[in-house]
Chains A and B, each alone.
Chain A
Amino acid sequence: MKKASGNKIRLGIFVSIGFALLIGCIYLIGERQQLFSNTFQVSGIFKNISGLQIGNNVRFSGINVGIVDNIEQLTDTTVKVDMMINDDTRKFMKKNAKAIIGSDGLMGNKIVIITPGTNGQKTLADNDVIATEQPVTMDDILIKLKVTGDNAATITSDLAVVMTNIREGKGTIGKLLMDTAMAKEVDQALTNIKQGAGGFKQNMNAASNNVLLRGYFKKKKKGDEKDKK
């Protein structure tokens, strides 16, 4: 009899712990979904929500403050997103706050990020509609990457033509680099210039010793010495 009573107590404890664990789990999940806290609702109207889903997090200053409560297609180009936000953060959110759809890491879920707005503005009220910014989608990035890639392809194609011409000795740079006859001519021209410069030096020495020009060179020499002093 005593044993049976002890077994019933053990069974009662076992069942109670089981129920307590289940209720604890439900409470923790419900708390995350703002079921047991005071909330207020704000909405944002987007052109594209980039795969945002009901239940995704709403972040303010990097903190999860709410969840996406409802998503409704208004027209063919506008989607209304209702957000349930914890009432404690309402005082920091101003009327000119903006909602932006972002991503939780590279592979993470979509989230709504709310910017605080500027000081001096009134705080948000229940059922307010806040301004939104169009998110940068993966498609946008891919389109820009495509344009960049096309430009790079055109540039490399032009560069290839230029290099081919240079290699074939076409154009000034091509001739300069690839034409051996021209290289000889340039070499000859440089030799001629060198010889011409030598002759010119002799002429100038002769002129400095000439009777007519000697005075000029002496004056110039004295002027230079004065400047040095």
Chain B
Amino acid sequence: MLQPSLLLNKHVTNIKFEMLANSKTSNKIDSKKVSPSSENSFGKTLKDFFEEVTLLTRFTMRFFRELIKPPYEFNEFLKQSYLIGYKSLPLIAITGFIMGLVLTIQSRPTLAQFGAESWLPAMVAVSIIREIGPVVTALIFAGKVGSGIGAELASMKVTEQIDAMEVSGINPFKYLVVTRILSATLMLPILVIMSDVISLYGAYIGVNLQGDVSFNLFIVKIFDKLVFTDIFPAVIKTFFFGFVVALLGCYKGYNSSKGTEGVAVAANTSVVYASLMIFILDMIAVQITSLFI
């Protein structure tokens, strides 16, 4: 039992230490403010970027290692597939329908100028299936699922739930990361196929707003112009889109820090980087596809 005077002394000493520490920190910040060097700043950014690339690569390699190594978290995988795939369907369906409808209505005047309105179903179908469907669906998926994964894992990280899992003998990487990435990779292609079909239904309604095309004729016109090289590259690239969205969400969430602020940062950066990566991957996919067509 300590004397009250001793307790008071200790408290005062603690306050002094804190003030000293604060003044040192503020000095550090001030010194940074006083002598900012753009060259050093650029060098630091570049160094941070390459560090991030290395950490992300290690994270990806760990994912593949954990993916093939038993035991498999099959129930968690099914749960995540339900949450990531099935639960995203309403959002994807609404946006897909509007996308098909709007694209058709917007394309009609241009085609009408050339007297080529009969090409409308085929043109809209090729646009949706090749490009617009996969990319727009992936972007919405990144917004919903990527940010969700990032925020969820980050909050688990800052509340030390991930550490608790490790302590209790569960491999958190396998349980949280592998299942989510695998689910997103497999669910996005299915969502894109459904979104494409719903978009085409929207396009059918769009065509019939100002014209009169039977459903059979619409289907015949669509599949008259579609070939396998329209379908397969578009479906294959969505596996990569799904993988990247979940990978970045998990990476940002799993390596989050700085408390609640870190959760917001993880959710935000997951979406931003995932969206950017979707466009980069799409560009690469188009280049590769054009080599074989």
Give A residues with C-beta under 8 Å from B. 4, 7-8, 10-11, 14-15, 17-19, 21-22, 25-26, 28-33, 55, 107
Contacts and interface: CB of A to CB of B under 8 A. Distances in A.
A31 B223 CA distance: 9
B231 A15 contact: no
Contact of A28 (B85, B116, B189, B219): B219
B194 A21 contact: yes
A49 to B, nearest CB: 19
Contacts of A15: 81, 85, 190
Contact of B231 (A4, A29, A32): A29
- Most B Cβ at <10 Å: residue of A4, A14, A26, A32: A14
Tell me the interface secondary structure of chain B in the complex. Answer: helix
Contact of A32 (B190, B191, B224): B224
A147 B240 CA distance: 58
Nearest to B189: A18
A18 B86 contact: no
A25 B224 contact: no
Interface in B180-200: 189-191, 193-194, 197
Contacts of A18: 189-191, 193-194
- Most B Cβ at <10 Å: residue of A19, A28, A29: A29
Contacts of A30: 228
Nearest to A31: B223
Nearest to A16: B190
A11 B86 contact: yes
B86 A29 contact: no
B277 interface: no
Contacts of A14: 85-86, 89, 190
Interface residues of B, number: 23
A26 B79 contact: no
Contacts of A7: 78-79, 82, 86
Contacts of A29: 223, 226-228, 231
B219 A25 contact: no
A4 B85 CA distance: 15
B235 interface: yes
Contacts of B231: 22, 25-26, 29
B233 to A, nearest CB: 14
A11 B197 contact: no
Nearest to A109: B225
Given A7-B82, A8-B82, A11-B85, 6 more contacts: A7-B78, A18-B190, A19-B190, A25-B193, A55-B227, A107-B114
Nearest to A14: B86
A8 B89 CA distance: 15
A17 B194 CA distance: 8
Contact of A22 (B116, B193, B227): B193
Contacts of A4: 79
Contacts of B114: 107
Contacts of A32: 223-224
Contacts of B228: 26, 29-30, 33
A22 B226 CA distance: 13
Q: Which 6 A-B pairs have the closest CB atoms?
A: A18-B190, A28-B223, A11-B82, A7-B82, A14-B86, A21-B193
A10 B227 contact: no
Interface string B199-229: 0000000000000000000010001101110
A22 B235 contact: yes
Contacts of A17: 194
Contact of A10 (B86, B190, B193): B86
A4 B74 CA distance: 13
Contacts of B78: 7-8, 11
A62 B5 CA distance: 107
25 contacts: A4-B79, A7-B78, A7-B79, A8-B78, A8-B82, A11-B85, A11-B86, A14-B190, A15-B85, A15-B190, A18-B193, A18-B194, A21-B197, A22-B193, A22-B235, A25-B193, A25-B226, A25-B231, A26-B231, A29-B223, A29-B227, A29-B228, A29-B231, A30-B228, A33-B228
